Amino acid sequence: MQTTIVGALPKLPVVYEDPDNLRRAVNDFEAGRIGAPDLEAVTRQTQARALAWQTDRGIGLLGDGQIRWSDLVSPVAYDVAGLEVGGLIRFFQNNTYYRHPIVTGRVWLVGRTLPGWFAQARALAAGPIKAALPGPYTLAALSEDRQYHDLERLVADLADVLGLLARLHLEAGAACVEFEEPSLAREADPGRRALGLAALARAAARAQGPVRAALYFGDPTGWLADLAAIGLEGVSFDLVGAPVLGQALAAGGFPGRVGLGVLDARDLRIEDPVAVRAVVEAVARRIEPERLLLHPNTSLEYLPADGAVRKLDRLHEIHTSLEGVTR
Amino acid sequence: MSRPLPLLPTTSVGSLPKPDALRALRARGRRADPAELDSAIREATRASIAMQEAVGLDLLVHGEMERGDMVAYFAEHWDGFESSGFVRSYGNRYYRKPVARRPLRADGPVTVDMWRFAQSLTDRPVKGMLTGPYTIMDWSFNEAYPDRRAFALALADLVHEEALALEKAGARFIQIDEPALSTRPEEIELAIEAMERVTRGLTAKTISHMCYGDWAAVYPRFLDLPVDQLDIEAANNDYAILDLLKKGPVRPEIALGVVDVHSHRVETADEVEAAILRALEILPAERLYIDPDCGLKTRTEAEARAKLEAVVQGTARVRSRLAGP
């Protein structure tokens, strides 16, 4: 059993006044008080700190924390022709926003910015590290389509593009690529869901390496079999938003490496380790512990830095207490 | 006694841009001299009222010069709330998300003084501005209450007391903003229950502003929010909300957002006129107010004024049409 994170980590230090404060560095850069090399130095320090938070707490599968990403979806436009960046929209139920991509032409991969960012994180990582990308269905759902006017074609093309991007991340040293799919996790329409699942499979095939999906903010309990059938390396689930998923996994199992999102990444309150342990042990009776990953249910960037670190501390504590648990 | 409103009253949603001098003072945080800050806030409020009068708005706002954020302002003044560290909202923009550490308590009204000051500057009505309990709950961390419902209802009691105090001070219009209303459709009943607590027994006209949500997901129940008027962002979404509203009866009055507050481009009076005419196909003029999509604090002072002028000019044209030759 290992631990991991999902997506982004806070960019600021726990002590705001610390010198490696990326927010202050960006403000200073924009005001002309520091130059690009100074900003880059603070960005790299921020990346190193995000990795250290994890390695210090025994995280087995590291994440890059998306330190250079402004949100989950708009940075993809840096590397993809046919995507432009539009206005701010609320990101699901959060007081957090993203710049929505606007599809203005046929999408195809033209850049290497995101793999380059990841390679910098990989160079600083002390262990296996995964890359996080938006999944094709979520990217399509959060975009404004002015070109295709056909969701199936748009999702398929985005799957191709994201699959190629995933391959570049794998070539840059990613242990795996995790597609974040909150829109798919919440999708109630079976036809659209089938599109999203097919797109994940298509992207995974293009990636030619281990690809996972993180399904948060939704409850895929009713279609776990469909999800299992697409043959990903593994899937991470949100057991905070959908506690019933724990029972479903405990009853029916799931193939691959199964992620259990057991800590609430949007709530400062720290979980009772006994309750979390009970959930994990129930699943571990059905799924071999070596196939389990423990993690927060979504990105820890919804918390301030001190809150995120406390969650990682609790994750480490729970993980340690589960050593020796067998099926 | 402020003067009566015309047909298709024009108004604004809440916040207006802060002048540079006030921004600079606020940036000093706790190092700012309180008396100097208060003076700057009142001067900016005076200017915002004068600007709205000059533009020709009918129902004014005080501009929220004393507030940094619509949720944090209340959290800063109510006992039991503390600020968390910085949480990112987008890019390099961060905010201190409030944390309810203990059961909440108010030592007295926190909005009446500024409302009273603003109303003293004009004979036009000024709205009392509050943030709704559901939104404060949803945009805060909770360490004090057993669940979201208990948290929201405790906040509803505080917001109710604030509304009562505004009404007692003379406010004829009280706006209780709920931009988070549509974010969790499964909690729409909780949002309605909380608003019932807020507006219970009020005689002032109650308004709730909502924006940037998935209205289809909460239609038609959001129309049952117990307020007299729903103030809805529409221009940003190309008036898709009107397609929903024409599906069935609309009980509350509607205040329609006709200029996009997230765009630097200033809409023309022609565009505003066209938007109002479109709305009048499904809503009676007697139950329609006209305003921007949302608070204008993110625009420059010049942009905000120009957008409000477009609102007033476009509305005037429609009034002329309705009055006939």
pLDDT in tens, chain B (325 residues): 567 899 999 999 999 999 999 999 998 888 899 999 999 999 999 999 999 999 999 999 999 999 988 999 999 999 999 989 999 998 888 989 999 999 999 999 999 999 999 999 999 999 999 999 999 999 999 999 999 999 999 999 999 999 999 999 999 999 999 998 877 888 999 999 999 999 999 999 999 999 877 788 889 999 999 999 999 999 987 898 999 999 999 999 999 999 999 788 999 999 999 999 999 999 999 999 999 999 999 889 999 999 999 999 999 999 999 998 7
Q: With CB atoms and an 8 Å threshold, state whether A97 touches B263.
A: no
Q: Is the N-terminal amide bond of B220 cis, ω within 30° of 0?
A: yes
Is residue A280 a contact partner of residue A313, using CB atoms and an 8 Å limit?
no
C-alpha distances out from residue A4 to A65, A224, A292, B189, Å: 11, 22, 10, 36
Q: With CB atoms and an 8 Å threshold, state whether B262 touches A98.
A: no
What six digits make up the tokens of B197?
Answer: 């607590």
Q: With CB atoms and an 8 Å threshold, state whether A95 touches B89.
A: yes
Residue B124, number of CB atoms within 10 A of its CB: 18
Of B90, B99, B143, the CB nearest to A70: B90
How far apart CA B224 and CA B230 sit, in angstroms, is 10
Ranges of residues in chain A whose predicted pLDDT is under 70: 326-327
Is residue B101 a contact partner of residue A32, using CB atoms and an 8 Å limit?
no
Q: With CB atoms and an 8 Å threshold, state whether A88 touches B143.
A: no
pLDDT for the residue B264 = 82
Q: Which one, of A148, A227, A215, lies nearest residue A186 by Cα?
A: A215
A-B C-beta contacts closer than 8 Å:
72
How far apart CA A42 and CA A50 sit, in angstroms, is 12
How far apart CA B245 and CA B282 sit, in angstroms, is 8
Q: Which chain B residue has the Cα nearest residue A269?
A: B143
Residues of chain A with Cβ-Cβ distance to B92 below 8 Å are 22-23, 26-27
Contacts 24+ apart (CB under 8 A), B150-153: B151/B100, B152/B190, B152/B191, B152/B193, B152/B194, B153/B193, B153/B194, B153/B197
Q: Is A307 on the interface with B (CB under 8 A)?
A: yes
Chain A nearest-CA distance from B81, in A, is: 14
How far apart CA B34 and CA B31 sit, in angstroms, is 9
Q: How distant is the alpha carbon of residue B144 from its chain centre?
A: 27
Of A11, A87, A98, the CB nearest to B262: A87
Q: Is B99 on the interface with A (CB under 8 A)?
A: yes
Q: Which one, of B282, B298, B290, lies nearest residue B317 by Cα?
A: B290
Q: How distant is the alpha carbon of residue B191 from its chain centre?
A: 16
Pairing of strands A80-90, A97-109: antiparallel
Three-class DSSP category at B314: helix
pLDDT for the residue B255 = 97
β-bridge partners, A281:
none
Of the residues B87, B93, B298, the best mutation for testing chain A's interface (the one with the most A CB atoms within 10 Å of its CB) is: B87
Whose tokens are 């509203």? That residue is B245
Of B88, B99, B143, the CB nearest to A301: B88
Q: Is B139 on the interface with A (CB under 8 A)?
A: yes
Q: With CB atoms and an 8 Å threshold, state whether A87 touches B263.
A: yes
Q: Is B237 on the interface with A (CB under 8 A)?
A: no
Handedness of CA A300, A301, A306, A307 (dihedral sign): negative
Of the residues B82, B83, B90, the best mutation for testing chain A's interface (the one with the most A CB atoms within 10 Å of its CB) is: B90
Strands (E), chain A: 2-3, 62-63, 80-90, 97-109, 129-134, 144-145, 176-180, 211-215, 234-238, 257-263, 292-296
Q: What are phi and psi of B176, to 5 degrees?
A: -120, 100
Q: Which one, of B96, B300, B259, B198, lies nearest residue A95 by Cα?
A: B96
Q: Is A96 on the interface with B (CB under 8 A)?
A: yes
Q: With CB atoms and an 8 Å threshold, state whether A267 touches B141.
A: yes
Of B87, B89, B91, the CB nearest to A303: B87
Chain A nearest-CA distance from B233, in A, is: 13
Q: With CB atoms and an 8 Å threshold, state whether A268 touches B141.
A: yes
Q: With CB atoms and an 8 Å threshold, state whether A16 touches B183.
A: no
Q: What are phi and psi of B43, to 5 degrees?
A: -65, -40
Of the residues A17, A67, A95, the best mutation for testing chain B's interface (the one with the most B CB atoms within 10 Å of its CB) is: A95
Domains (range + CATH), chain B: 20-323 (3.20.20.210)
pLDDT for the residue A254 = 97
Whole-prediction pTM: 0.87
Contacts of A19 (CB under 8 A, 6+ apart): none
> A2-321, which class in CATH?
alpha beta
Residue B315: what residue type?
T
Q: Which one, of A116, A101, A212, lies nearest residue A157 by Cα?
A: A101
Q: Is B219 on the interface with A (CB under 8 A)?
A: no
**Residue A300: how many CA atoms within 13 Å on its side-chain side?**
32
pLDDT for the residue B238 = 85
Chain A nearest-CA distance from B186, in A, is: 11
Domain ranges of chain A: 2-321
How far apart CA A117 and CA B293 sit, in angstroms, is 37
pLDDT for the residue A88 = 77
Q: Is A321 on the interface with B (CB under 8 A)?
A: no
